Structure 1
Amino acid sequence: MALLKASFFQMSKRCFLQCGACWTSESKLSVHESPKIPPCDFTPEKYESQPYNHILKIRKQNFSPFISTYFQKPLLLQQGYMQWLFDYEGRRYLDLFSGIVTVGVGHCHPKVTAAAQKQLGRLWHTSPAFIHPAIHEYAEKLTALLPEPLKVIFFTNSGSEANDMAMLMARSFSQNVDIISFRGAYHGCSPYTLGLTSVGAIKPRIASGSSCQTTMCPDVFRGPWGGSQCRDSLVQTIRKCNCTPGCCKAKDQYIEEFKNTLHTVVAKEIAGFFAEPIQGVNGVVQYPKGFLKEAFQMVRERGGVCIADEVQTGFGRLGTHFWGFQSHGILPDIVTMAKGIANGFPMSAVVTTPEIADAFTKHLNHFNTFAGNPLAGVIGSAVLDAIKEDGLQENSQETGSYMLLKLAKLRDEFEIVGDVRGKGLMMGIEMVQDQDSRQPLSLKEVNLIHEDCKDMGLIVGRGGLFNQTFRIAPPMCITKQEADFAVEVFHAALSRHMEKRAKGVV
């Protein structure tokens, strides 16, 4: 095992042992006690920038009004180290959201940071009009992780831009225009990708993304069909179903809805179909086993290409496979990736087949000034090295499974926890008014629980069509001991909330 991996996990173990018996995953806290955050021997620098209130003033005056923040008092973060974040007052938080599922290998990972600093002193930028070894070496390493014939890379700068390009590729190759995506999907906020994105709070009131159509999301918890045998997860829904291993009736019913979309709302021949292997923004929604394989086949029969959006699911996060599409037993025609590709550095990519790449370049002389610059190549390569050397895909599987099973116990104890789901280190906890109705818990109540978790030192994401789902996607270096702490925080926050509910104060 690499020295970096050994030293990092030794440090994590040392931090845990320093704490002694002050907390364990099985400790019983009173409703008014807060779990003790595991120690860490990293000390942040002293905050020396502008005062908190002045930062808020700048944000209000000079930033887009659309950019909202979590929490009543927004967090002003100033430093990070691996799975930890520090605010301007030096308070430490366990990060369960990774900058929206982006910081895969850890904040300021030593190996990635060193590689970036070294390249910064050599050459930042050339543009693709010149050749530099870093991006070519990275392209070779990245394509080695993808199956044939996915071997041609187009470098871009964001997930939206990558999906924009994938749309153009699909239309260029197929010579058709209609593209299908799931309801609840998030594929970006550019003028093109807004047509694919199907989250009401994000959809604009002006024309955008023409010739994009949505189909029913095969959500086995909130949708009309599905139950306790349907998804690829260690934790199934509490809904009952008549499915059996190898024969998912819910999948068959959702496939009929997909057929209905093909027969009624798109042309006889289509350009393509976009799918996240697991929906991220919609609250970590998983589909019935076998659904995507059948849907891909039907799309190809209509002349379309199949696009896997791996922006949130790629790079080992799901544990069992490096790419999310592999867990479905499918081979896409185009794969888009961003976020975890460079651990937060603005980089993305589209990978496709030589045949599709040739058709695309015949229709468009694509050029991107910043795509594939030397710094991006070095950082991307260092991220791949860190994933391998630190055993992060394996840790996603082991620690993610451990954490998911513990979180599932919250559903057994609290009526407002409707569903716990996920795979690897990508999980969702969907909050409901009660488990029978599955109606979303009120935004006010979800906000209160969210705030309480933050106050106890835990940063959690949010998602779902009603903002009712807690999204958990920590840096992939998180340990089981830290997972225990996270579960204890959730338990404490839910216990306090139920006590307040019983007293009628929420």
Structure 2
Amino acid sequence: MSEQITTTSGTTGAEDLTTRYGASMLGVFGTPQRILVRGEGAHVWDAEGNEYLDLLGGIAVNALGHAHPSFVAALTKQVETLGHVSNFFATGPQIELAETLLRLAEAPAGSGVFFTSSGTESNEAAFKIARRTGRPRILALEDAFHGRTMGALALTHKESYREPFEPLPGGVEFVPPGDVQALEAALAPGDVAALFLEPIQGEAGVVPLPDEYLRAARRLTAEHGTLLIVDEVQTGVARTGEWFAHQRLDDLQPDVMTLAKGLGGGFPIGAVIAYGEQVRSLLQPGQHGTTFGGNPLGASVALAVLGTIAEDDLRGSARDRGDHLARRIDELAADDDRITGIRGAGLLRGIALAEPIAPQVVARALEAGFIINAANPHTLRLAPPLIVTDAQIDTFVDALPALLDAATPGNCESDTIGKRS
């Protein structure tokens, strides 16, 4: 007797859906803040019909916002043609995407791409590339975040993420970011396989690494025969105003770059780029693999995302909108000592707060119709779609003083903060 699969799609109330979520999902994410049902451009709507300005973009994922016509068209066209094949076979979109990424990355002849489904999977592959050098040690930076799977977690510094799953893969050591002397000392023995770094440390509070440190990292790793692995999962794909954040420095070419997030604009796809034949050859046939990486759906969508960014000059838009946001926040900070500055580049920004109230501000912002994130207790993180406008940014900046009022202990919530619907 066959089993019938039934759905309960008729029950869509937010309270009911939240209850069902808690009853059916593993509790790793806690209770969802809202049940979202629809998105368009830089806005989303929840199950109760409330509208929100999405200034987080799925944490730097939704490069083109929600339901962008080029995203929808590429996905629809490809799924009507060929949805998935195993990696015993290749497809045109996969090959074209690899060629496009190598061109945008300005990778030398002999370079190659490996496709994944996520950022942590990209960093897992990079970890294995490092292991193939035969050297026993790998360096990562304090405050780094590279993912939650076991290899990527070994590269992630936050103790609360690491401790429940130890012992982690060994050989990883952490050095302080920005400290050239400490890096030089760690590399001196000549047995370091790779240095992993993020050009902007997102989970640390959107903290850019100094230019002189990045240049020193490239120089020192080259001198010691160590791979420089640049994690551009959050900073890549025009997020900072360059195709990849490290390209702002002319003399900084990594040995390996990892990507995901914005590459698919919401479709799960990541990539690893190995620069040059010597690095490309470290992983040999049979030494790594993936089921979904580089599937034609993801590759077609990624090509549409990259094409739209180029055609609409969204790199320039990211720079301009980011500069506008920074100016507006600096203006606020000049008169409001609760704001101590703004960090980051392009449309990856961290607003620094004097008091550890960022989670409370995030909650008040959601009530007011803005989706943002607390990277840490002192930092509000914004990573909106690259299509966001100055006018949309201004609505948040104009509301921020009242959000801070409402989040400050002892203050009553401002009457100016209301739920937008």
TM-score (norm 2): 0.90
> What is the alpha-carbon distance in structure 2 between the residues aligned to residue 452 and residue 496 of structure 1?
7
Deviations, residues 25-82 of structure 1 (Å, cap 9, x unaligned): xxxxxxxxxxxxxxxxxxxxxx954332332223323322221356xxx211111111
- Equivalent position of 1:110 in the other structure: 69
Q: How does 1:47-58 map to 2 (within 5 A)?
A: 49-58=11-20
- Equivalent position of 1:96 in the other structure: 55
Q: Is the 8 A contact 1:215 1:257 kept in 2?
A: yes
- Equivalent position of 2:123 in the other structure: 163
The reply on whether 1:143 has 2:53 as its aligned counterpart is: no
Deviations, residues 358-408 of structure 1 (Å, cap 9, x unaligned): 12216x532322221111111111111111122211110111101111112
> SS of 1:394's equivalent?
helix
- Equivalent position of 2:359 in the other structure: 447
- Equivalent position of 1:387 in the other structure: 309
CA 1:496/1:310 → structure 2, altered by over 3 Å: closer, same or farther? same
> What is the alpha-carbon distance in structure 1 between the residues aligned to residue 50 and residue 154 of structure 2?
41
> What is the alpha-carbon distance in structure 2 between the residues aligned to residue 491 and residue 185 of structure 1?
31
- Equivalent position of 2:3 in the other structure: none
- Equivalent position of 1:378 in the other structure: 300
> What is the alpha-carbon distance in structure 1 between the residues aligned to residue 136 and residue 24 of structure 2?
39
Alpha-carbon offset, residue 156 of structure 1: 0.9
Q: In percent, how many aligned pairs have the same letter? A: 29
Q: How does 1:60-75 map to 2 (within 5 A)?
A: 60-69=22-31, 74-75=33-34
- Equivalent position of 2:417 in the other structure: none
Alpha-carbon offset, residue 492 of structure 1: 2.0
Q: Note the aligned Cα RMSD (angstroms).
A: 2.0
> SS of 1:335's equivalent?
strand
Deviations, residues 177-199 of structure 1 (Å, cap 9, x unaligned): 21111111110111111110112
- Equivalent position of 1:258 in the other structure: 183
Aligned partner of 1:462 among 345, 370, 374: 374
CA 1:413/1:200 → structure 2, altered by over 3 Å: closer, same or farther? farther
CA 1:69/1:392 → structure 2, altered by over 3 Å: closer, same or farther? farther
> What is the alpha-carbon distance in structure 2 between the residues aligned to residue 57 and residue 331 of structure 1?
49
> SS of 2:140's equivalent?
strand
- Equivalent position of 1:324 in the other structure: 245
- Equivalent position of 1:423 in the other structure: 345
TM-score (norm 1): 0.75
Alpha-carbon offset, residue 497 of structure 1: 4.3
CA 1:446/1:129 → structure 2, altered by over 3 Å: closer, same or farther? same
Q: Is the 8 A contact 2:42 2:66 kept in 1?
A: yes
> SS of 2:38's equivalent?
strand
> What is the alpha-carbon distance in structure 1 between the residues aligned to residue 159 and residue 69 of structure 2?
40
- Equivalent position of 1:10 in the other structure: none
Between 298-307 and 335-344, the greater mean CA deviation after superposition: 298-307
> What is the alpha-carbon distance in structure 2 between the residues aligned to residue 154 and residue 390 of structure 1?
27
Q: Is the 8 A contact 2:405 2:411 kept in 1?
A: no
> What is the alpha-carbon distance in structure 2 between the residues aligned to residue 460 and residue 482 of structure 1?
13
Q: How does 1:402-441 map to 2 (within 5 A)?
A: 402-433=324-355, 441=356
- Equivalent position of 1:124 in the other structure: 83
Q: 2:305 is aligned with what amino acid?
A: V
Q: Is the 8 A contact 1:426 1:471 kept in 2?
A: yes
- Equivalent position of 2:226 in the other structure: 304
The reply on whether 1:367 has 2:289 as its aligned counterpart is: yes
Q: Is the 8 A contact 2:13 2:48 kept in 1?
A: no
Q: Is the 8 A contact 1:458 1:489 kept in 2?
A: no
> SS of 1:369's equivalent?
coil
> What is the alpha-carbon distance in structure 1 between the residues aligned to residue 28 and residue 315 of structure 2?
35
- Equivalent position of 1:22 in the other structure: none
Deviations, residues 329-364 of structure 1 (Å, cap 9, x unaligned): 4100001000001011111110112221212216x5
Deviations, residues 436-486 of structure 1 (Å, cap 9, x unaligned): xxxxx1xxx33332222111111101213xx33110110000011111111
Unpaired stretches in structure 2, ≥5 consecutive residues: 1-8, 414-421
> What is the alpha-carbon distance in structure 2 between the residues aligned to residue 153 and residue 473 of structure 1?
26
> SS of 1:201's equivalent?
helix
The number of equivalent residue pairs is 401
Q: Is the 8 A contact 2:405 2:412 kept in 1?
A: no
> What is the alpha-carbon distance in structure 1 between the residues aligned to residue 203 and residue 60 of structure 2?
10
Q: Is the 8 A contact 2:94 2:296 kept in 1?
A: yes
> What is the alpha-carbon distance in structure 2 between the residues aligned to residue 488 and residue 48 of structure 1?
39
> SS of 2:191's equivalent?
coil
> What is the alpha-carbon distance in structure 2 between the residues aligned to residue 60 and residue 482 of structure 1?
33
